[in-house]
Amino acid sequence: MASIRIGTGSAWWGDRVEPARLNAERGDLDYLCFETMAEATISAAQVRKRRDPEFAGYDTYLDDRMQAVLPGCLKRGTRIVSNQGWINPDGAAERIVHWLREFGGRGVKVAAVSGSLITDRVLAETDTILENGRKTATLRDSMVSAEAYLGAEPIVDALRQGAQIVVTTRVADPSIFLAPMMHEFGWDPLDHARLGAGSAIGHILECGAQATGGYFADPGFKDVPEPWNLGFPIAEVDETGAATISKVSGTGGAITTMTIKEQLLYEVHDPANYLTPDVVVDFTTARLQELGPDLIRVSGITGKPRTPTLKVSIGCAEGFIGEDMFFYAGPGALRRAELARRILEERFKIIGLKAEDIRIDFIGVNAIHGPASRTDGPEPYEVAVRVAARALTRAEAFKIGREVDGMAVSGVGMTGKRVPHQDRVREVIGVWSSLIPRAKVPWSINMYES
């Protein structure tokens, strides 16, 4: 093929569904790709599975997304690549088959890619925690799950086997978008120049609306048309890895050299050496050309040979956070909040709270910058007091909400207390990183058909 059109379907688990439906129906796509994971997604899924054996283990919005995009994709013949499989890609594939049949899609092959989950052997196959230099064996007692970041190759393998839809477990974000390019253009997995270019395009697409004006608008400085109606990006990629970035006509947002530059550098520590499982991307040679409204050509990006190891994320149980809020308004709101903080600090001592960390923040005053917040600002008219603590047990974390409840009648005058309708204690999953040799992480593919 001279070129292919790849569109974004999501940038994370909680992303909006409507722009994906528009891409499927009006994007004239060859591929629609979904990225639905954060660093802690698999660990959080494992924790939920322990608590709820009925949890399916795949993206909880899988049904919503497939119902929205399958009619358009089936009509156009658009292939789907997605990491919505989380800890159960086979279950996700079977569920997609269900929706294919509901929409009359018969004989459609759905591939489930597994292999990233290495919890059973991670401590034997890894050595050092990247963040602190300690041995990964020190995580043994707290470890919940471990997964290596697979690259594009298993997806390419599934596409070559005839899969119309590929659903995976942990795969690096840009790799989801790179795989269709490798498959359609026949790129060699070791061709670091083309894979670098393709991974850079994948990096632009992986965060969805961030390339079309999302997470960009700053009123009066960087204005974005109709930010309530942002379209997701579409890349028309040629066999060199150069691409033209656009979006469905009539959608809000903006594709400019500014939006693309911001996304190119998003979460990139070293623009000359952006590490992915497939290639080390070098963004420093990028060329951006404005071809027209909401139309930017990206070219010139290259890469360096991939590393001999893959990144591993190790999720660990690190206790529980107890959290609640209360409020003050009117003259003296900040003074009353400061007294409330002192009251709680003393009461936590009285009850012998065993907490690893405690924070009492005044939202709108110092909750973001903490001690670096300015102290000479105007007196706020209203203050929300957020109280949070991390403890090793749920029982200790529960004490936070109980003491905040007491502020309703045993606290400062004019305390505004909400009724806690939700659980005020949540389990904390810490994420640590290590490296594992590529050969230690084989993948597998199971094929299903509607």
Tell me which amino acid residue 147 is: E
Burial of 202 (0-12, 13-18, 19+ CB in 10 A): buried
Residue whose entry in the numeric block shows the structure tokens 């632009």: 204
Note whether 409 and 72 are within 8 A (CB): no
In percent, the amount of the chain with pLDDT more than 90 equals 92
Tell me, what's the pLDDT at 1?
72
Q: Report residue 342's pLDDT band, with 50, 70 and 90 as the boundaries.
A: very high
Question: Which of 50, 60, 116 has the alpha carbon at shortest distance from 91?
Answer: 60
Note whether 384 and 362 are within 8 A (CB): yes
Q: What is the DSSP string of 371-424?
A: GGS-SSSPPPSEEEEEEEEEESSHHHHHHHHHHHHHHHHHS-TT-EE----S-S
Q: How far apart are CA 140 and CA 286, in angstroms?
A: 43
Task: Give the residue-averaged pLDDT of 78-105.
Answer: 97
Tell me which amino acid residue 27 is: G
Beta strands at 357-363 and 287-292: parallel, antiparallel or unpaired: unpaired
Task: Give the residue-averaged pLDDT of 369-374.
Answer: 91
Tell me, what's the pLDDT at 377?
85
Task: Give the residue-averaged pLDDT of 33-45.
Answer: 90
Task: Give 362-365 contacts, CB < 8 A, sequence gap 24+.
Answer: 362/334, 362/337, 362/386, 363/325, 365/334, 365/337
Distances (CA, A) of 416 to 325, 382, 407, 408, 449: 9, 11, 9, 7, 57
pLDDT tens digits along 388-404: 999 999 999 999 999 99
Whether pLDDT at 109 is above 80: yes
Question: Which of 437, 86, 23 has the alpha carbon at shortest distance from 247?
Answer: 23
Q: Please list the residues that pair with 32 across neighbouring strands.
A: 7, 80
pLDDT tens digits along 123-150: 999 999 999 999 999 999 999 999 999 9
Q: Please list the residues that pair with 385 across neighbouring strands.
A: 326, 362
Q: How far apart are CA 159 and CA 389, in angstroms?
A: 47
pLDDT tens digits along 284-326: 999 999 999 999 999 999 999 999 999 999 999 999 999 999 9
Tell me, what's the pLDDT at 401?
95
Whether pLDDT at 373 is above 80: yes
Tell me, what's the pLDDT at 174?
97
Q: How far apart are CA 171 and CA 445, in angstroms?
A: 14
Q: What is the DSSP string of 53-104?
A: TT--SS-TTHHHHHHHHHHHHHHHT-EEEE-TTTT-HHHHHHHHHHHHHHTT
Whether pLDDT at 421 is above 80: no
Q: What is the DSSP string of 159-224?
A: HHTT-SEEEESSB-HHHHHHHHHHHHHT--TT-HHHHHHHHHHHHHHHTGGGGTTTTT-BTTTB--
User: Is 354 in a helix, a strand, or coil?
Assistant: coil
Indicate the Cα dihedral angle 248, 250, 251, 257, nearest 10°. Answer: 70
Cβ atoms within 10 Å, residue 438: 16
pTM of the model: 0.94
Tell me, what's the pLDDT at 38?
85
Beta strands at 309-329 and 425-437: parallel, antiparallel or unpaired: antiparallel
Tell me, what's the pLDDT at 420?
75
How are the residues of the chain apportioned to helix, strand and coil, as percentages rounded to the nearest 5? 35, 30, 40
Please give the backbone phi and psi of residue 339, each rounded to the nearest 5 degrees, phi first: -65, -40
Whether pLDDT at 44 is above 90: no
The structural domains of the chain, ordered by start, are 3-115+150-307 (no CATH), 314-432 (3.30.70.2750)
Indicate the Cα dihedral angle 10, 14, 17, 19, nearest 10°. Answer: -50
Secondary structure string (H, E, C) spanning 36-62: CCCCCHHHHHHHHHHHCCCCCCCCCCH
Q: What is the mean pLDDT of the chain?
A: 96
Tell me, what's the pLDDT at 300?
97
Sign for the CA dihedral angle at 219, 224, 229, 235 comes to negative
Q: How far is CA 37 from the centre of its chain?
A: 4
Note whether 178 and 277 are within 8 A (CB): no
